[in-house]
């Protein structure tokens, strides 16, 4: 089970929340233009900065095999971009609730992740990490913290929430809602970042603007818009139950039956059917499993994370059989309500 | 539950067996060319012939509503052709193991149906019915019993077995087997007669030739070829389990999951998934239900039979919901082996 995932308020819709800060060291070039020597120097400076603070473990990307890298992407603790960074690496706490990417687009991407909509807690953690070391970062009185990409300048902060919104998607409200959210300086996108699909009816809500707002405002805006989306989603689910109950119940229960009995499950259909199960729990159709357990299962059954857990490389057909077995076990205590 | 269906030998493959005799009264025109008056006269003569013999109930087609007619077709106790016969009717025993169609293609089509491959028993029943009344039928020393269509002349007898052959179909053996069977004067076709598809992997094996063979030969040939097909089918299932077990097990168990949990089931997918379940029982994947119970369920969930049982007309979406409920109940004691 993914260590940082636990039961949380609003987790019928909000899977997780995160804050990340983009920071760069003074007197060093940005990663995109620095040479390998500089990259290693930055890595070591960051290591020195956090080595004594808490129980961080440091890993250099070049020492990580490709499956493990992809597994970390699937767990949402690092970006695809970091995978190929020569001097890149990460520092992370054991439970992976705090992860610092080193030499991704910026020297540091410090992120704190929490379950549900506990963005306030993530914010607190980030501020505590940042405070003692902030004097070492490139800062400009006019532009704030300096970042490789100007869109991150200012606070360098992104607050985001991963939301499960099958109701909003089914009722066709997503395009309108996305437009409204865009006008508020925020954005809704697929869970693997810009341009990715809403896999498993999951989207990531985040602030688009980092300049001209202070950190407090960003967090408050995120909380406010996320809360509205959560309310929208619950309304949409109610509406669906009122207007096309039998059709949606059928879809949910078929997914339930297939997940319980299939002998092979692809990752794509698994995430999609687990999305149905999640909605089914909210709708009172299925009992015996908590939302956070489902969130874990969604990540645990991702192709590389599954291989990471088993400690060996597997071909797709082998993974499909093991995935079906994992899902069956995870759902063994569930039943039709 | 369909009354004549009970547990029987070989019912892992053989669903039912039947013998039917085509007979026509002396001194009457064949149904296709007789007028209404003659039709009624024939009906009454047949009624007189069987009224005193056993506990037959007589129904005239014109007194039967369309849903009930279709339900009888779905239960395989009458043909589609009889539905629109003006002076047509049926005589049947309570358990429907014996049914006489009156004024279908011939004046009489006497059929006895038994579960499994108990064709011998059906043959005995038919001969016992036929013996006391045979002198009243049109008979020619050269051509035997005379029938409306020359292909039925001679014995006027058709022996058939309904067989569930997913293994033969999956392994692609059906075309070859059909050819071989044709050369032996027999035929394999869909369960609703000539030209119909192998719905639910079910086919009907029957003799094509009625002339030049005696009744005993026809029954023996049917038994012999059916037994070979049953052995072929069991071999095919074994082969499948050896070569693509995981794929077929997955298909069977997915159908099992969907049938157990769906809230709506169309008749088409139901018959197809029940076919998977039937194979799953044979393969030892599913326990808690007998083959004959599945056979009943296949017929009970057919669109008109379902309405007949409930005693009211229902639109498709209503039937789909009720069908899902019936299937769920029927499978409530089943489980993964």
| Best of B240, B263, B269, B285 to mutate (most A CBs within 10 Å, chain A) | B263
Chain B, residues 310-329, CB within 8 A of chain A, namely 317, 321, 324
Structure-token pair, residue A141: 């009185």
Instruction: With CB atoms and an 8 Å threshold, state whether B259 touches A257.
Output: yes
| pLDDT, tens digit, 9 for 90 and up, residues B145-166 | 999 988 888 899 999 999 999 9
Distance from CA of B190 to the nearest CA of A (A): 29
pLDDT tens across B273-320, in order?
A: 999 999 999 999 999 999 999 999 999 999 999 999 899 999 999 999
Q: A183: burial class by Cβ within 10 Å (0-12, 13-18, 19+)?
A: exposed
Dihedral of CA atoms B279, B280, B284, B287 in degrees, nearest 10, equals -120
pLDDT at residue B196 greater than cutoff 80: no
Question: A84 CB near a chain B CB, below 8 Å?
Answer: no
Which pLDDT tens digit goes with each residue over A306-332?
A: 999 899 999 999 999 999 999 999 999
Q: Which of A246, A247, A263 sits opposite B253 (nearest CB)?
A: A263
Split at pLDDT 50, 70, 90, the class of A196 is low
Burial of B66 (0-12, 13-18, 19+ CB in 10 A): exposed
Sequence-distant (6+) residues with CB within 8 A of B125 are B19, B97, B98, B112, B114
CB A335 within 8 A of CB A287: yes
Residue of A nearest to B255 (CA): A258
ipTM of the complex: 0.87
A333 touches chain B (CB under 8 A): no
Residue A257, min C-alpha distance to chain B (Å): 4
State mean pLDDT over B17-30.
94
A250/B264 Cβ within 8 A = yes
* Average pLDDT for B54-81: 91
- The pLDDT assigned to A192 comes to 57
Q: Average pLDDT in the B96-121 region?
A: 96
* B108-132: average pLDDT: 96
What's the confidence (pLDDT) of residue B195? 54
Instruction: Report pTM.
Output: 0.89
Are residues B199 and B191 in contact, defined by beta-carbon separation less than 8 angstroms? yes
CB atoms within 10 A of CB B227: 15
Q: Identify the helix (H) or strand (E) that includes residue B19.
A: strand B14-23
Task: Supply the angle between the helices B303-310 and B66-74 in degrees, to the nearest 10.
Answer: 120
Do the bridges between strand A286-287 and strand A202-207 make them parallel or antiparallel, or are there none, so unpaired?
A: unpaired
């Amino acid at each position: 089970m993914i260590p940082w995932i636990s039961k949380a308020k609003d987790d019928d819709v909000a899977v997780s929340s995160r804050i990340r800060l983009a920071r760069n060291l003074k007197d060093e070039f940005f990663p995109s233009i620095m040479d390998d020597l500089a990259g290693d120097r930055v890595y070591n400076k960051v290591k020195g900065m956090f080595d004594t603070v808490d129980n961080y473990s440091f890993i250099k990307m070049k020492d990580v095999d490709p499956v493990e890298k992809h597994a970390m992407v699937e767990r949402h603790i690092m970006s695809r971009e970091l995978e190929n960074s020569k001097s890149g690496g990460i520092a992370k706490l054991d439970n992976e609730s705090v992860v610092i990417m080193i030499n991704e687009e910026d020297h540091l991407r410090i992120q704190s992740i929490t379950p549900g909509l506990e963005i306030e807690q993530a914010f607190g953690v980030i501020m505590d990490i940042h405070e003692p070391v902030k004097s070492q970062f490139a800062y400009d009185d006019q532009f704030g913290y300096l970042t490789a990409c100007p869109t991150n300048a200012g606070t360098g902060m992104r607050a985001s929430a991963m939301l499960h919104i099958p109701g909003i998607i089914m009722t066709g409200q997503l395009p309108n809602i996305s437009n409204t959210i865009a006008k508020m300086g925020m954005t809704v996108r697929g869970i693997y970042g810009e341009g990715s699909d809403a896999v498993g009816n999951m989207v990531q809500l985040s602030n688009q603007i980092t300049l001209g707002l202070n950190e407090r405002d960003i967090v408050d805006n995120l909380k406010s818009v996320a809360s509205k989306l959560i309310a929208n989603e619950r309304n949409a689910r109610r509406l669906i139950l009122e207007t096309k109950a039998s059709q949606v119940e059928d879809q949910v229960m078929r997914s339930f039956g297939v997940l319980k009995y299939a002998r092979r499950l692809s990752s794509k259909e698994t995430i999609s059917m687990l999305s149905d199960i999640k909605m089914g729990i909210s709708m009172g159709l299925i009992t015996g499993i908590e939302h956070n357990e489902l969130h874990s299962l969604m990540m645990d059954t991702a192709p590389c994370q599954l291989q990471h857990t088993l400690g060996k490389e597997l071909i797709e057909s082998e993974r499909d059989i093991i995935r079906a077995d994992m899902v069956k076990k995870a759902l063994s205590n569930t039943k039709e309500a």
